[in-house]
Chains A and B, each alone.
Chain A
Amino acid sequence: MLHKVLAIRNLSTSTYTLRLERNDLLFKAGQCFNLGLKNSGVNREYSIYSGENDSYLEFLIKEIKGGAVSPFIRQSLVGEKINLYGPYGSFIIDPKIINNDQFIFICSGTGIAPFHSFIRSYPNLKYHLINGIRFLSERYDYDKLDITKITTCVSREKWNGFNGRVTSYFRKTTINTKHIFYLCGNQKMIQEVYDLLQRSKVSGNNILTEAFF
């Protein structure tokens, strides 16, 4: 399916958002789509960044140098059409527990995308977001989020918040085993956080993961 580009926002040298027309497409917050340039024959998976009720589809994309898709999408012009397939996947919140449970969202890099989608879609969600980034400039769209519900872990720049990686934060924190943990980002972060959660006796039934690659 072809969707028109509405906007591209350059957030940093490595990261941008792609906004596409929605065309009445239905999805659940947290799902992913395949995106590719028209007639290229190549596509890649990206988690949705926008909310279920937004009038557009938006994606938070890290540009991979030498990549087959992300550098070319970044060069797209408003009005150009992008190939989009989906939505797919089950990295979503079960509606049965959406109003009851406390969710802990843990991410690294552009792994914040599905959580941003959750937060925009479900305003009454009880959550805490632990966001692992390298530099302060990677606090994308924080002005639209409730920063009292976010812990930012910055690994390569000193600031007056938490200095270090997400895993370091977890080693210093008491973990409530009743919470439901969602992990999204690179494999290494997920493996390490998963181990820490398990050592704290969090049941595997309460941990959901989405590995980016």
Chain B
Amino acid sequence: MKIAISYPPIVNQDGQKAMVSQNRNVQFFKEPTYLLPVIHGQAATWLRDIGYDVLWDDGNSQLKTFDNWYLNLITEAPDIIVFESTTPVMKFYWAVANKLKTDLPHCTIIMTGYHSMRKPAETLRESSVDIVLRSNHIDFALQKLIPFIDENTNWRKTCTIEGLVFRRDEHNIFDTGNFKQIEPLDLAPDVDRDLVQWKNYAYENGNFLQTPGTYATSVVRDCMFGKCTFCRYNGPDLTFSMRSVQKSLDEYQRLIEDYGAREIFDDSGVWYRGAEAREFAQGIIDRGLHKKDCYFGFNTRFGYLDEDTISLLAKANFRFILVGLEAADEETLNRLNKGYGPEDSEHNLKLYTKYGLFPHLTIMVGYYWQTRDQLEKTIATVKRFMFEGIARTLQVTLCTPIDFTPYHQECLDEKVLLTDNYDDFDMSKLIVKTPLPHNNYYDAIREMYSIAFHPKFILKQLQFLARFKKKDWQFLFTYGIRAIRRVRQHIFNLTKHQK
């Protein structure tokens, strides 16, 4: 049986590609970054390991046109195709599924992703998709489901594997109930780097300070905290699972020694903290991996890392840490359920930079309640952090309700959503009613991005880098160039909608 795990190239009218993989919020970019879809990579590896013919079919990272990708897929004629989707591209996926069903009528199409898992009936109604996974543990679900389909020609009548919604026949949809919310992650295999053609993802990724870089098999599935209202890792149907430190360290060692990775980023919603974070950093040092010219990075939350842990991480050659500064005012942080106060961000950032980590801030604007005061406070705080040198880089996005997160649901309940066309949810424009004209939020984004070109900021960066090893200067050249390119693309996306 042949299984395709497929990411079709999605190109909009401006010639920009949609970046879908790895649970990200979809955005269209002219010069894309390619993120390795880790959980789907684990699923592919697991299916291959149990004897299936797996086609890793990422049309984006393999630089295919849509037509090229489609023709190749038809030629391969897989028995099963697995897609990953999210709100802004749902309509696209429904159309592709319908087209594929015409050309490959016997192929079973499985839809994964947070949008469809929360509205499975919608996808079955709007398209010819056969099965929707209600599970975000794609690898665990598929390694049970695929053999069942393979071994049972009447699977539609007999399958009771949890976490699925599928067509029993033309008229009936069957729901097998909620999926298992917590899985022992050590059972899932590491991503097979050759199977997923890891080098396709090793260079064009804004999170890498040096290349070739790669994503580690995530140590945490979903998020330990899991309460932020705008985030898809939140809901009564989710909890979190954690991988063992030693298993993850083994993978890092292989990635460095066998594949020559020079940057490893863990894209878990939130990485280890406390005892596990310290054990991991100490493990890197004990294995001598901190001396192999490889940087390490991860996502974290303010409030999670204490000084001892930060100091140890820095010794272990951790550099890039991505942290959300969704707003700088207390009301917004409370409404987003962030779990910390405005003063905590500054305290944490000072510690990160004291030990030489490179904090990258992810900022959002355009909440449906965001007042001028709140917006200006965020801008002023971000400027101060960047000019003081306690944050190194940033990205700013429009808060867009997606995938029926609590924030999305809140926007629906409050009747502040301006559109119900899923195509509009691509983060290129505000789609909620706001207290200020939308242009004010777009201007705020431009203002924050313009910090990167301010002489005061550049001087601070140079002073910071002068304290470190010479090779850290590559940060200015490689990361800086990519950052500027990213700024340009964000500005382009905003400008095209600004009146």
Q: State the CA gap A203–B176 with chains docked (Å).
A: 8
Question: In the bound complex, do residue A203 and residue B178 qualify as a contact, i.e. CB atoms below 8 Å apart?
Answer: yes
In the complex, what residues of A have CB within 8 A of residue B183's CB? 191
Q: State the CA gap A166–B179 with chains docked (Å).
A: 22
Question: In the bound complex, do residue B303 and residue A34 qualify as a contact, i.e. CB atoms below 8 Å apart?
Answer: yes
Question: In the bound complex, do residue A191 and residue B184 qualify as a contact, i.e. CB atoms below 8 Å apart?
Answer: yes
Q: State the CA gap A36–B308 with chains docked (Å).
A: 16
Residues 171-189 of chain A: 1 if any B CB is under 8 Å from the residue's CB, otherwise 0? Answer: 0000000000000000110
The closest CB in chain A to the CB of B178 belongs to: A204
In the complex, what residues of B have CB within 8 A of residue A95's CB? none
The verdict on A41 contacting B182 (CB below 8 Å), with A68-B309, A213-B242 known, is no
B66, CB-defined interface residue at 8 Å: no
Give the dominant DSSP class at B's interface.
loop
* Minimum CB–CB distance for B255 against chain A, Å: 25
In the complex, what residues of A have CB within 8 A of residue B334's CB? 85
Question: In the bound complex, do residue A187 and residue B182 qualify as a contact, i.e. CB atoms below 8 Å apart?
Answer: yes
In the complex, what residues of B have CB within 8 A of residue A86's CB? 337, 339
In the complex, what residues of B have CB within 8 A of residue A40's CB? 347
B50, CB-defined interface residue at 8 Å: no
Q: Which of B235, B308, B337 has its CB near the most chain A CB atoms (within 10 A)? A: B337
The closest CB in chain A to the CB of B180 belongs to: A194
A45, CB-defined interface residue at 8 Å: yes
In the complex, what residues of A have CB within 8 A of residue B163's CB? 204
Question: In the bound complex, do residue B242 and residue A187 qualify as a contact, i.e. CB atoms below 8 Å apart?
Answer: yes
* Minimum CB–CB distance for B409 against chain A, Å: 12
In the complex, what residues of B have CB within 8 A of residue A43's CB? 303, 339-340, 344
B178 touches which of A32, A85, A188, A207 (Cβ 8 Å): A207
Residues 196-233 of chain B: 1 if any A CB is under 8 Å from the residue's CB, otherwise 0? Answer: 00000000000000000000000000001111000000
Question: In the bound complex, do residue B239 and residue A34 qualify as a contact, i.e. CB atoms below 8 Å apart?
Answer: no
Question: In the bound complex, do residue B347 and residue A187 qualify as a contact, i.e. CB atoms below 8 Å apart?
Answer: no
B304, CB-defined interface residue at 8 Å: yes
Question: In the bound complex, do residue B274 and residue A67 qualify as a contact, i.e. CB atoms below 8 Å apart?
Answer: yes
Question: In the bound complex, do residue A85 and residue B239 qualify as a contact, i.e. CB atoms below 8 Å apart?
Answer: no
Give the dominant DSSP class at A's interface.
mixed
In the complex, what residues of A have CB within 8 A of residue B179's CB? 204
Question: In the bound complex, do residue A211 and residue B275 qualify as a contact, i.e. CB atoms below 8 Å apart?
Answer: no
Question: In the bound complex, do residue B303 and residue A209 qualify as a contact, i.e. CB atoms below 8 Å apart?
Answer: no
In the complex, what residues of B have CB within 8 A of residue A68's CB? 274, 306, 308-309
A102, CB-defined interface residue at 8 Å: no
In the complex, what residues of B have CB within 8 A of residue A78's CB? none
B52, CB-defined interface residue at 8 Å: no
Q: Could you tell me which residues of chain B, from 399 to 441, have a CB within 8 Å of some CB in chain A?
A: none
A42, CB-defined interface residue at 8 Å: yes
Question: In the bound complex, do residue B275 and residue A41 qualify as a contact, i.e. CB atoms below 8 Å apart?
Answer: no
A41 touches which of B240, B242, B348 (Cβ 8 Å): B348
Question: In the bound complex, do residue B339 and residue A66 qualify as a contact, i.e. CB atoms below 8 Å apart?
Answer: no
The closest CB in chain A to the CB of B338 belongs to: A85
The 8 closest A-B pairs by CB, nearest first: A41-B347, A204-B178, A68-B306, A88-B227, A90-B236, A204-B177, A34-B339, A203-B177
Instruction: Write the residues of chain A forming the contact surface with B, with a CB cutoff of 8 angstroms.
Output: 32, 34, 36, 39-43, 45, 64, 66-68, 83, 85-86, 88-91, 187-188, 190-191, 194, 198, 203-205, 207-211, 213
Given contacts A41-B351, A205-B177, 9 further A-B contacts (CB under 8 A): A41-B302, A42-B303, A67-B274, A68-B274, A68-B308, A85-B341, A188-B184, A191-B184, A211-B239
